[in-house]
Homo-oligomer: A and B are copies of this chain.
Amino acid sequence: MVLQAETEYGTDPDDDTRRSLLRHMLVARGVDEEARQLQKQGALDLWLSCQGQEAAQVGSALAVGPTATVFPSYREHAVALLRGVTPDELVAQWAGRTFCGWDPRRLRFFPYTLVLAAQTLHGVGYAIGQRLQGRDDLVVVYMGDGATSEGDMSEALNLAAVESASVLFICQNNGWAISKPAGEQMRTSVAERARGFGIESVRVPGQDPETVFSACSRAAAHVRAERAPCLVEIPVGRIHGHSTSDAQEVYRDHEDIARARAADPVTAYAARLGGLGLVDTAWLDAVDAEVRELRERLMKEYV
C-alpha cells in the first residue's frame, strides 16, 4: 500500500508503551480466563474468548489512542478493557443482564454488535456525521474474517471510499468463522478487497503487539492526515472454539489448534520483554496481583 513512510509518523512503541502493551495483554488474558471459568460454572450463558488475539487488539487499541471512537464487533474484549470497560461491565451481557454493560459514550467504545458487519455501516455513518458537524474524529471499526462476506461490509467499504470517511477498518482474521476456514470464505485477502474499493490497506501479522502497534499507528496517522479510510488486516490465532458452546475439535484438526496455542502472543511477548530486561519478576508479580484481584472481584460479582 501507499501509506506514508514509517518515519514520517514515528510509530515505534517506546519502552513504557511496550510495558503497557504487555500489561493490557495480561489483563485481557486473565479476564478472559475467568470468564471462561464463570461460563463453565453456569454464571455466564456464553463467552466468546479472545485468546490468541490479544496482541492484535491491544496493539491496535493503544495505537489509535483514547480519542478514537471504536465500533467493535463482539470479541474485542482486550480493546474494551483497555478502553476502561470494567470486567464486570464486560461480561454483564454474557450473563444475560443487559445488552451492553458499559457506558459507550464516555468510553468512546460502542456496544457490541452481534449482527455481523452491521456496525461497519454505523461506523462510516458516524464518521460522516462527525465531519458534517465539524468534528473529524478517527473512527475505528473492528470485524472478523467471516463478517467480511456480508453485503454490509462491502457497502461500508464503498461508502467510506466514496465519502473519504475517516475510518480505520481493522479486520482480525483468526482464520475461522465458527467452522468455516477463512481460505474458503474468500479468494484473496481482506486487504486486497479493500484496495479494490479504493481503500488503502495493509496486512500485518498479529502475533507481536509491536508490529501491530506500528502498523496501526501509521494507518491511524494516515487516516487523520489524509482524511481518508484505511484498512488493516491482522492474521491472528484462535486458541479456543468460536464460543463456549463450540467444540472446535469437531471440525479443526489437532495440529492447527496446537499451532495456535504454541503461538500464544501473550506468553511470547511476556518472555520477550522479560528477556530484554524491560520487565522483571516484581513487575510481573504486580500485574499478576492486579489480574488476580480483577478476577476475584469478577467472580464474586457473578457467582
Residues in chain A within 8 A of chain B (CB atoms): 149-155, 158, 161-162, 184-188, 192-199
Assuming the contacts A187-B198, A198-B188, asked whether A151 and B162 have C-beta atoms less than 8 A apart, the reply is no
Chain A at the B interface: SS class: helix
21 CB-based A-B contacts, threshold 8 Å: A149-B155, A149-B158, A150-B151, A151-B151, A153-B154, A154-B154, A154-B155, A158-B186, A158-B187, A161-B186, A161-B187, A161-B188, A162-B187, A186-B197, A187-B197, A187-B199, A192-B195, A192-B196, A192-B198, A193-B196, A194-B196
Q: Which residues of B contact A197 (CB under 8 A)?
A: 186-188, 193, 196
Q: Which residues of B contact A150 (CB under 8 A)?
A: 151, 155
CB-CB nearest 4 A-B residue pairs = A151-B151, A196-B196, A187-B198, A154-B154
Q: Which residues of B contact A149 (CB under 8 A)?
A: 155, 158
For the complex, what is the distance from the CA of A151 to the CA of B155, rounded to whole Å?
6
Q: A151-B151, A161-B186 are in contact. List 8 more A-B contacts (CB 8 A).
A: A151-B155, A153-B154, A154-B155, A158-B186, A161-B188, A187-B198, A192-B195, A196-B197
* Interface pair A188/B184, CB less than 8 Å apart: no
For the complex, what is the distance from the CA of A161 to the CA of B153, rounded to whole Å?
17
Of chain B, the residue at the smallest CB distance from A117 is B151
- Within the complex, the shortest CB–CB distance from A83 to chain B, in Å, comes to 30
Of chain B, the residue at the smallest CB distance from A151 is B151
Of chain B, the residue at the smallest CB distance from A201 is B196
For the complex, what is the distance from the CA of A151 to the CA of B186, rounded to whole Å?
16
Q: Which residues of B contact A153 (CB under 8 A)?
A: 154
Of chain B, the residue at the smallest CB distance from A156 is B151
**Residue of A154, A185, A186, A196 with highest tally of chain B CB at under 10 A:** A196
Q: Which residues of B contact A161 (CB under 8 A)?
A: 186-188
- Within the complex, the shortest CB–CB distance from A117 to chain B, in Å, comes to 9
Q: Which residues of B contact A184 (CB under 8 A)?
A: 162
- Within the complex, the shortest CB–CB distance from A155 to chain B, in Å, comes to 5
Q: Which residues of B contact A199 (CB under 8 A)?
A: 187
Q: Could you say which of B152, B162, B196 contacts A185, with CB atoms under 8 Å apart?
A: B162
For the complex, what is the distance from the CA of A194 to the CA of B193, rounded to whole Å?
8
**Residue of A158, A161, A186 with highest tally of chain B CB at under 10 A:** A158
Q: Which residues of B contact A162 (CB under 8 A)?
A: 184-187
Of chain B, the residue at the smallest CB distance from A188 is B198
Q: Which residues of B contact A158 (CB under 8 A)?
A: 149, 186-187
Of chain B, the residue at the smallest CB distance from A196 is B196
For the complex, what is the distance from the CA of A158 to the CA of B148, rounded to whole Å?
10
For the complex, what is the distance from the CA of A100 to the CA of B149, rounded to whole Å?
32
For the complex, what is the distance from the CA of A9 to the CA of B192, rounded to whole Å?
29
For the complex, what is the distance from the CA of A155 to the CA of B199, rounded to whole Å?
18
